[in-house]
Each structure stands twice: as structure tokens, then as C-alpha cells.
């Protein structure tokens, strides 16, 4: 990406952090400033910036050292290829490679894969793509990524260290998709018949709206009167003038 305005790369950098670090909050001192500088001056393409983030100490501490191998592999697929593993053999192959060649070799194999090159190329930040009908993917991968995502506001760290897909990939067991709990006000509105509040509530709200409107109108009248030096409103009770 040589010749690209460095400021225009800021959204790209933020998107890469969000994707590769699983939506985790990153403190300023935890950012990879050297990688950012190399991307901005053209020494790195986006693909190698992603590679560097996935090999960083931040990533290693949270998504490799702190989780079992099966969980680490399923997250590596999600963060780098934007999809869950397609089969148990994919997971097993990566675990074997990790045991024999190390964690960084697994990251390199994903970033350098023909799939990554075809889908993202050198200059596109990976993104979760199992929500769309991507070629070569079954509908089950939609279910798997939904189970891994939980919500767009949560981070991959918040899901804990246990593998989410292990039993499903190994035996086809049913996956549980945890839908975020609805806010209290939504629960209340859903409990009303037809989703509408009782008539007494509507009357109360309308009454409050009328009183509030009259109060604001009184304040406006009082301000206008004072602007024009008219003191005839002094005899009117203050409550009617919004005072």
C-alpha cells in the first residue's frame, strides 16, 4: 500500500485490531506501534499487518497461552479467515502443526493460505463472513459463527476459555446460541397486550405531556415579556410562567 495517505489508513488499522483481537479493548500502551508505522510507510501490506497482530504478545497471551488448543484454533480461524473451522480435521491439523512447529506456524499457514489470498488479498482486513453465503460453506457455518459471536458488542475474551465448537465438530451435537438478554424496558413492553400500554398509562403520559408543554410555554412567554420590558406578568402566579 505504498503511497497511501497515512491518515487514511487509521480506519484500516482500527478494523484490523477489532477483527484480529476479537473486539477486545486495547490500551494505548498495548498497541503495536511499530507495526502501525510500518504499515503507514508502506513497508507492510494489510495482510502482513494482520499477521503481525496475530503473532503479537497481546494476542498470544489472550488467545493462545490462556486457552486450550481447540479454543485457540477456532479463534485463530475466526480472527484470520473470518470463519469457524469447517471440520474436526481442520482443527486437528492445526493442533498437530502447533505442537510440532509452534503457534506462529499456525498463524502463517492461515495468512498464507490460498483461501486468505482469494478472499482478502493483500490489502483487505479480514471480516466475519460466515453470516453471508460464502462459497464452499454450509449453512451450519452460519450457526457456528453465531454461537461464537454471541453479540456484536461482546469480545471473544468474554466467552471464556472453553471451546465452543468442539462437540459440534466432533459429533454433530446441537450448538447453543446465546441471545443477549433483552433490556428491562423491552421486557415490559412485550408483556403488554399487543405491545401497547394500558389506557390508564396513556392518559397519564398525555396529561404529563400537556402539563410539561404548558410549563415550557409559560417560560417562553415570561422570557419574551422581560425582553420587551413588560412587567404586567408579575401578578400571574409563578407556576403558570414556568418559574
The answer to whether 159 and 141 are in contact (CB under 8 A) is: no
pLDDT recorded at residue 209: 80
Q: How crowded is residue 205: how many other Cβ atoms within 10 Å of its Cβ?
A: 11
**Radius of gyration, alpha carbons of the chain:** 28
Cα–Cα distance between 70 and 165 in angstroms, integer? 9
The answer to whether 20 and 126 are in contact (CB under 8 A) is: yes
Confidence band of 220 (pLDDT split at 50, 70, 90): confident
Cα–Cα distance between 51 and 23 in angstroms, integer? 17
Longest dimension (CA), the chain: 92
Higher pLDDT, 138 or 242: 138
Least confident of 20-29, 66-75, 133-142, 191-200: 133-142
Over residues 64-74, the mean pLDDT reads 91
pLDDT recorded at residue 5: 64
Task: Give the torsion sign (CA, 40, 45, 50, 53).
Answer: negative
pLDDT greater than 80 at residue 13: yes
Cα–Cα distance between 43 and 41 in angstroms, integer? 6
Q: What is the pLDDT of residues 103-162, one digit of tens each?
A: 999 999 999 999 999 999 999 999 988 655 555 566 666 667 666 776 555 665 656 565
Cα–Cα distance between 236 and 224 in angstroms, integer? 15
pLDDT recorded at residue 185: 46
pLDDT recorded at residue 85: 87
Cα–Cα distance between 67 and 60 in angstroms, integer? 10
Which residue is listed with cell 490500551?
Answer: 27
Over residues 77-97, the mean pLDDT reads 91
Q: Nearest-CA neighbor of 130 among 86, 171, 169?
A: 86
Cα–Cα distance between 31 and 11 in angstroms, integer? 15
pLDDT recorded at residue 103: 94
The answer to whether 100 and 191 are in contact (CB under 8 A) is: no
Amino acid at each position: 500500500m505504498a503511497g497511501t495517505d497515512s491518515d487514511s489508513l487509521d480506519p484500516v488499522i482500527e478494523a484490523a485490531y477489532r477483527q484480529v483481537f476479537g473486539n477486545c479493548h486495547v490500551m494505548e500502551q498495548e498497541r503495536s506501534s511499530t507495526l502501525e508505522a510500518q504499515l503507514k510507510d508502506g513497508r507492510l501490506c494489510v495482510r502482513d499487518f494482520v499477521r503481525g497482530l496475530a503473532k503479537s504478545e497481546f494476542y498470544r497471551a489472550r488467545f493462545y497461552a490462556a486457552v486450550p488448543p481447540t479454543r485457540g484454533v477456532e479463534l485463530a480461524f475466526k480472527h484470520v479467515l473470518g470463519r469457524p473451522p469447517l471440520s474436526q480435521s481442520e482443527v486437528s491439523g492445526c493442533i498437530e502443526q502447533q505442537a510440532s512447529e509452534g503457534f506462529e506456524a499456525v498463524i502463517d499457514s492461515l495468512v498464507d493460505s490460498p483461501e486468505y489470498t482469494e478472499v482478502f488479498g493483500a490489502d483487505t482486513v479480514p471480516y466475519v463472513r460466515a453470516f453471508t453465503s460464502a462459497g464452499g460453506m454450509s449453512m451450519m457455518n452460519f450457526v457456528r459463527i453465531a454461537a461464537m459471536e454471541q453479540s456484536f458488542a461482546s469480545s471473544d475474551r468474554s466467552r471464556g476459555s472453553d471451546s465452543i465448537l468442539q462437540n459440534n465438530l466432533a459429533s454433530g451435537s446441537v450448538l447453543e446460541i446465546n441471545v443477549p438478554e433483552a433490556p428491562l424496558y423491552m421486557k415490559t413492553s412485550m408483556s403488554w397486550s399487543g405491545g401497547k400500554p394500558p389506557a390508564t398509562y396513556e392518559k397519564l403520559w398525555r396529561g404529563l405531556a400537556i402539563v410539561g408543554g404548558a410549563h415550557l410555554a409559560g417560560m417562553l412567554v415570561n422570557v419574551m415579556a422581560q425582553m420587551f420590558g413588560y412587567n404586567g406578568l408579575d401578578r400571574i402566579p409563578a407556576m403558570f410562567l414556568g418559574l
